[in-house]
Structure 1
Amino acid sequence: MPDAFIDAAVAAAAHHTLKALYPGQADALDSKLEKYLAEIPESDAKEDGRALGSAVAGEILAEREYDGADSPMSYIPGGAPGRHRPDPLYPDQGFLTPEWGDVRPIVAIRRAGTDGNPLTIADRRWTPVGSPEATRARRA
């Protein structure tokens, strides 16, 4: 589909993905997509874009089907530095995806390391600045 209209493809991909992830929002998502696509003149390129976007979204959703994002997650808060503590104003709000780091990423970020080899998000040098590991390293 070399002549696919990119805006239609992106809109269709986003719509298809969000609708799969948030089925309760299907009506609102359908409405937003139709309103957006109404601004694009009818053409074969527009329809090719819609088809391409839906196909790409389907591939991405299939790739992440067994990524662990829907695995049961538990978290026990602690008082140690760097550990999440409940918000005193909203103590019952719970925790959003506390073990999200165990989910298999569908996209890996790469950059060149000092030795010329690519780094990935799994590399220890990608440790977030505010993490307990980074805090211990700064104190050492």
Structure 2
Amino acid sequence: MRGKVLSYDDYTGSGLISGDDGVRYTFTRGGLMGGAREAFPGSTVDFEIANGTAANIYIIGGAPLNLSGDKNRIVAALLAFVLGGIGIHKFYLGKTTAGVLMLLGGTVGWITFGFVPALVYLIAFIEFIIYLLKTDGDFHRDYVAGNKSWF
């Protein structure tokens, strides 16, 4: 049967598929086949039904990573490198509190004789490197779908 992934939590390894028959089926990471380790919401899948759950799940159409305004890791990395001292990459990722902290540290922080702005630029550079080294899936899980604001 075919269907679409509605949700997937990589930490618990479980998710929900909406089958073409209109029924929702739960699944676990163990049911993913073809070398897949996770399934993104919106992915088209082919699966079998076993005991009311989805099994032998093959991802046949990947979900676009830009679902509902998802963010691109390369854009975030470039923003961190170029404008990271004022936290623009944080605002891009929707992490407003972290963005405001970096903005204040990078601008008003100069009253600390450059210590706070230097720290802010160092954090931005470290995040630039981390964003580049992460896979698209890991970046999406940690910084877009997840609640991770720092490193």
TM-score using structure 1 length = 0.27
Q: Which has the higher strand share?
A: 2
The structure that has the greater radius of gyration is: 1
The higher relative CO (CA closer than 8 Å, separation ≥ 6) is in: 1
TM-score by length of 2: 0.25
